Amino acid sequence: MSENKEETLASFQNITGIDDVGEAFSHLEAVNWNLMDALSRVMPHEDPSLASAIHQSQPALAENTNGFRPPGYDELPGTSSGGFFASERQNLNIPQRFPTSQLLAQLTSSINLDPVASQNNNQNNQELVLFNIHFNQQICQIRLPPQATIEQLKRCIFEKTRVPVCRQAIQGWPPSKASEAQQPSSRLGNLDLAQENELSLVDLTDDGYMDTEQDEVTQRADKTFSIHIQFESGSPLELSLPGNTTMLQLKMHVDDIKSIPVRHQEWTGWPRGCDNDTTLARSGIDLTHSFGVRNLAPTIASHSNSNQQQNNSYDIVNVDSESSTDEFEDATDFNFTDSPPAQPLNIHLIPNNTDDEMSGSSQFVENYVARYGEPCPYFFVGSLESALQMACYKPAKERKLLAIYLHHGKSILTNVFCDQLMKNETIIQTFMEKFVLFGWDLTFESNKDMFLSSLTACISSNASLMARNIGLDKLPAIMLVGKSRELGSSCGVLSVIPGNIDLDELLTRLIGTCERFEEQLQGEIRQDDERAARDQVKAEQDMAYEATLQADRAKDAAKRQREAAQAAERKRLESERAEEDARRESIRLIAQQSLPQEPAEQTTGTAKIRVRKPSGEFLERRFLKSNNLQDLLNFVTANGFLIEEYKLLSWPRRDLTAMESGQTLEALKLYPQETVFLEER
């Protein structure tokens, strides 16, 4: 097999005039050593007769399938410098330019052309998918058929940019297929791609994400790498080396075996960013990899400029001293060396060492809108505790979920997630209706520690641990926090949505979590309603009881008032009665004191008067016939019958009280004896 490859390589260089072994080797390796495919990658087709012959085995390639622009028709690279296969070209009688007849003879003599295959290839070429790969402010074009896989696309990107497959992060896939596009075996035809697609390439090493690849590097260091080294003269070299072998050690092996000093070795095939200390495991090359080495000892001066121009697609490593690492320098990188450095796609939404959550939240919202523009979700501005109070510590009917958006400026998922998923109107509306959305940037450790401490204080240590364990490859992420009786009437994390999902899955998980949460709340809402109904009945009963109690109290108050009035009236009457009695007694005493002395029974001129009381009893007293009517009235008064209340009558009926009180008893014919009557007025 190695002999066949050598023959194919020699034929390829003879026909194309590419003297650089590494470049020729790479073209053949890319098409699995198919000579016709390799020729189609680099040969110009302006000559109609030549184009017709080439098209019989390969589709028209005015711009070939991977976007490579071939060198000009009039002058082939390497022809002016002679090249290491110049003598072989002369032996084959192929001049420096491409005469159509001789080249067709060479091609048709060694290649069996199949018209049926040509027709199929022409049809496939029309179905090719075009990718514009944006990298380092440059654009390279790649065309691939729909049946090609993601892994094949990444290998083509490696050929163009020299960014190893393991360090490639591709952005710009359709949101619904973003997850499927992460699988190396996924076919391009299944990703809902357009005929022309704009993708962005991020070199994980350049953006400082190699920490996330450390496990892979460690595993690769324990594996054995099969290294194939092609030289411009002599047989190739096959080496089996451990993954921890450095670039300098590999060069020293070549020095030991081929006697080419390290300072005279010019290498092609290394990925960008490698230096003497880079190991095979960390460089990103496959376990089986091919390099080209050229001995610069005889032609350093004459070939250095032309080699740099011919090998724009590779890193050429030149060593100008002995095998000292300090004196080793890389040649120019892939043709982005002269371009200004690309600006970072992400900015930090919260500055480092933010003083408090309030200012951090405010800066987050301000920078988010400035970075990603409108439309964007409405973020709560304030502390995490305030957001939690607004969302979770309300009655069940008013309660919402708290969505905590965790941002990270160094995640390769951030731009796609914010520009495509978070701008979706349905997502924005869902956040508005169902959630209180709180955002925080975890890029800086100081801000991350502040957030985790707040998360522990406001929710739980488990929530903080969950947030801490979200890997960079899953950020940004959304933590959904809720409060229900199933969580013990406390807040807890219901779900964590990673950033490596598409729009449909994000919406499904948001709505699904809401539905489960609302279902849990239904029981709590029913209990709240039942409790409210019981409280209403109890309140009504309490109101009725209070009304009755007030009525009873009013009745009691009225009764007491009435009794007090009656008591006062009785007291008044008693007082009046007492006064009246005192007055009567005074009148009686005066009348009694005014009575003349009662004469003896045998006294001459004695009148005996009997007074009949209303009760029928009699009062009897003796008076002198000379005593007047007033003395009789005083007698009656002294016995408690006031003249103002009673009348004193005689028979025939005379009202003695109405008569002149100064008249004598004799004159009134009350002598010698008489019975008179008392009658109430």
Residue-wise pLDDT for 314-347, tens only, equals 333 443 333 333 433 333 333 333 333 433 444 6
Amino acid 43: pLDDT: 63
Q: What is the 3-state secondary structure (H, E, C) of 570-631?
A: HHHHHHHHHHHHHHHHHHHHHHHHHCCCCCCCCCCCEEEEEEECCCCCEEEEEEECCCEHHH
- Lowest-confidence range among 31-35, 63-67, 270-274, 389-393? 63-67
State the residue for tokens 């008893």.
Answer: 665
The neighbouring-strand residues paired with 478 are 405, 497
Asked if 514 and 401 count as a contact pair (C-beta separation under 8 A), the reply is yes
More confident residue, 210 or 227: 227
Amino acid 488: pLDDT: 59
pLDDT digits (tens, 9 = 90+) for 628-674: 999 999 999 999 888 888 999 988 888 988 899 899 988 888 888 89
**What's 175's DSSP letter?**
G
Query: What does the pLDDT average to over 399-414?
Result: 90
**Amino acid at the residue 222:** D
DSSP 418-441: IIIITT-HHHHHHHHHHEEEEEEE
The pair of three-digit structure tokens given for residue 672, joined into one six-digit string:
């010698």
522 vs 536: CA distance, rounded Å: 20
More confident residue, 507 or 71: 507
Residue 100 has pLDDT above 70, yes or no: no
102 vs 85: CA distance, rounded Å: 18
109 vs 58: CA distance, rounded Å: 17
- Lowest-confidence range among 107-111, 379-383, 429-433, 546-550? 107-111
Residue 206 has pLDDT above 50, yes or no: no
pLDDT band at 519 (very low <50, low <70, confident <90, very high): confident
Nearest to 281 by CA among 229, 223, 205: 223
The neighbouring-strand residues paired with 461 are none
Amino acid 547: pLDDT: 92
Residue 217 has pLDDT above 80, yes or no: no
The pair of three-digit structure tokens given for residue 370, joined into one six-digit string:
């400035």
The pair of three-digit structure tokens given for residue 138, joined into one six-digit string:
């440059």
Question: For the whole model, what pTM was predicted?
Answer: 0.36
Nearest to 325 by CA among 259, 293, 268, 277: 277
Amino acid 556: pLDDT: 92
Spell out the residues 6+ positions from residue 379 whose beta carbon is closer than 8 angstroms to its own: 361, 364, 365, 368, 405, 437, 438, 439
Q: Are strands 288-295 and 224-231 parallel, antiparallel or unpaired?
A: parallel
More confident residue, 124 or 35: 35
Amino acid 26: pLDDT: 74
Query: What does the pLDDT average to over 239-250?
Result: 89
Peptide bond before 614: cis, by omega within 30 degrees of 0?
no
622 vs 664: CA distance, rounded Å: 14
Cα Rg of the chain (Å, integer):
61
pLDDT band at 96 (very low <50, low <70, confident <90, very high): very low
314 vs 346: CA distance, rounded Å: 29
The mean of the pLDDT values for the chain is: 77
Query: What does the pLDDT average to over 507-520?
Result: 87
More confident residue, 213 or 266: 266
Nearest to 286 by CA among 405, 179, 158, 182: 158
- Lowest-confidence range among 20-29, 251-260, 620-629? 20-29
Residue 521 has pLDDT above 60, yes or no: yes
How many residues in total does the chain contain?
Answer: 681
494 vs 275: CA distance, rounded Å: 48
- 60 phi/psi in degrees, rounded to 5: -60, 135
pLDDT band at 486 (very low <50, low <70, confident <90, very high): low
Amino acid 23: pLDDT: 74
Amino acid 66: pLDDT: 36
pLDDT band at 281 (very low <50, low <70, confident <90, very high): confident
- Lowest-confidence range among 425-434, 453-462, 488-497? 488-497
